[in-house]
Amino acid sequence: MTLQVGVIGTNYLGAAHAAGMAEFGHTVIGVDIDADRVKTLNSGQSHIFEMGLEPLLERHTASGRLRFTTDYSEIADWADVHFLALGTPSGPGGAADLSQLNAAVDTLAPLLNKPALVVGKSTVPVGTAMQLERRLRAASPAGEGIEVAWNPEFLREAHAVEDTLAPDRLVFGTHSQQALELLEEIYSIPLTEATPVVRCDIATAELIKVAANAFLATKISFINAMARMCQAAGGDVSLLADAIGYDKRIGREFLNAGLGFGGGCLPKDIAALAVRAEELGVDVLTDFIRSVEAINEGQRTELAELAIDQAGGDVHGKRIAVLGAAFKPGTDDTRNSPALTVADYLHARGADVHVYDPQARLPQRHGFTQVTTVEQAVRGAEVVLHLTEWPEFRQLDPEQLGELVASRIIIDGRLKLHASTWLNAGWKVVQIGRAGTL
């Protein structure tokens, strides 16, 4: 059955969700306060680099099944369900900033004249959904007819469309059968494909997302702690990760040593979880998360200091090439990018830092230089840093690049380069989690 779906917020999450709902056969209106973004999306183009998103936007805006607006009144009494897909960035002290969610609810509520289901997709501290429901009911003419449910997203940047259309699980946090049935109707296509579903209370739904992110972050920080152990003891962290990853209870994913995690989700979500745990008196969880964060932040400093050491103990006035600016391959997102943290660190110590990334554009605040080719980045470099594992970097010709650099030294911060190829071309190769240098 075709439903009328409103999606409030159209950045990474909202744009993918709106396009996915249209692909499922629903009629969708996305709402955003950014008029330029709305104009871009209505033209069938994407304002972000996300694989597979633009073809969906082109197809469904052309068919009339999907459109975007800045006017909340267009969806208020039109939509069968309203999805909240707004950002919850870190606020002071690491607590989640819910201002975007609150503003959207405050704008929508007075326009709701009939019973409505409002479904949160944003990652929030436990207890947020019920606060929003009270806020909606207090300001809406429909009053008690407004219900909030929670349907957390599990999207991976660079795979958001894939994860929307073929989710590995669905979580429906509701407190009425009517709300549950409506969510099941909206997701009828993935449900017919035997997608696992967790039907639960709303508090559990809120916690599931932050727990998932905290566990993934823990795996990354654990393997990075073991990487330091390998370096100290003469081991190889990649072989270690392969070996323990064969254990089905552990699994190999998220056991890649390197610079650690970044982006707009994991860092802020686990920080918010630590704050909320502290508020609820669960100090053991707060302490645990803080240790995960400390290991992750320490990896960036460790690599930057490694670069300084390889440059002779001082990078002032020396040219450093950084390959990668996005926090991960397949996206242009530089939020909390480990690569840029390292570049900032070296720039602050006087290095002449040149950065190349296939997609990401650097924030204006950075004082280093962004270039448009790898060759421009490495020309005259004392040290080359491989910090985002774009596939094209694995295909580089080390012999050709060696003719451009001042010193053939490369630090593989992601353990993705073919070390033997670089060694054969006369490079010194330094890799995180492997003792010494090659």
First to last CA, the chain: 61
Q: Which helix (H) or strand (E) holds 386?
A: strand 383-386
Structure confidence at residue 365 (pLDDT):
65
Query: 35 and 95, same structural domain?
Result: yes
Query: 264 and 152, same structural domain?
Result: no
Query: 306 and 425, same structural domain?
Result: yes
CATH assignment of the domain containing 305: 3.40.50.720
Instruction: Give the C-alpha separation, 409 to 430, whole Å.
Output: 8
**What tens digit of pLDDT does each residue of 235-286 get?**
999 999 999 999 999 999 999 999 999 999 999 999 999 999 999 999 999 9
Question: In sequence order, which residues have a C-beta less than 8 Å from that of residue 144 and are 6 or more positions away?
Answer: 137
Tokens 């702690």 found at: 225
Structure confidence at residue 170 (pLDDT):
98
Query: 207 and 194, same structural domain?
Result: no
Structural domain count of the chain: 2
Residue 362 pLDDT > 90, yes or no? Answer: no
**What tens digit of pLDDT does each residue of 133-143 get?**
999 999 999 99
- Which residue range forms the structural domain that includes residue 261? 201-438
Side-by-side strand order, sheet with 81-84:
66-69, 27-31, 4-8, 81-84, 116-120, 146-150, 170-173, 197-200
% of residues, the chain, pLDDT over 70 = 99
User: DSSP label at 234?
Assistant: T
Residue 434 pLDDT > 90, yes or no? Answer: no
Please check whether residue 223 is in contact with residue 296, taking contact to mean a CB–CB distance below 8 angstroms. Answer: no
Query: 376 and 343, same structural domain?
Result: yes
| Domain final position from 164, 198, 232 | 198
**What tens digit of pLDDT does each residue of 286-311 get?**
999 999 999 999 999 999 999 999 99
Query: 161 and 139, same structural domain?
Result: yes
Strands (E) in 129-203, as ranges, are: 146-150, 170-173, 197-200
| Domain final position from 179, 198, 217 | 198
Query: 270 and 334, same structural domain?
Result: yes
Query: 16 and 101, same structural domain?
Result: yes
% of residues, the chain, pLDDT over 90 = 96
Please indicate whether residue 230 is annotated as part of the active site.
Answer: no
Query: 209 and 108, same structural domain?
Result: no
Residue 436 pLDDT > 70, yes or no? Answer: no
Q: What is the mean pLDDT of the chain?
A: 96
Query: 97 and 54, same structural domain?
Result: yes
Query: 207 and 130, same structural domain?
Result: no
Catalytic residue among 48, 66, 98, 265: 265
Residue 201 pLDDT > 60, yes or no? Answer: yes
| Domain final position from 182, 198, 214 | 198
Query: 168 and 37, same structural domain?
Result: yes
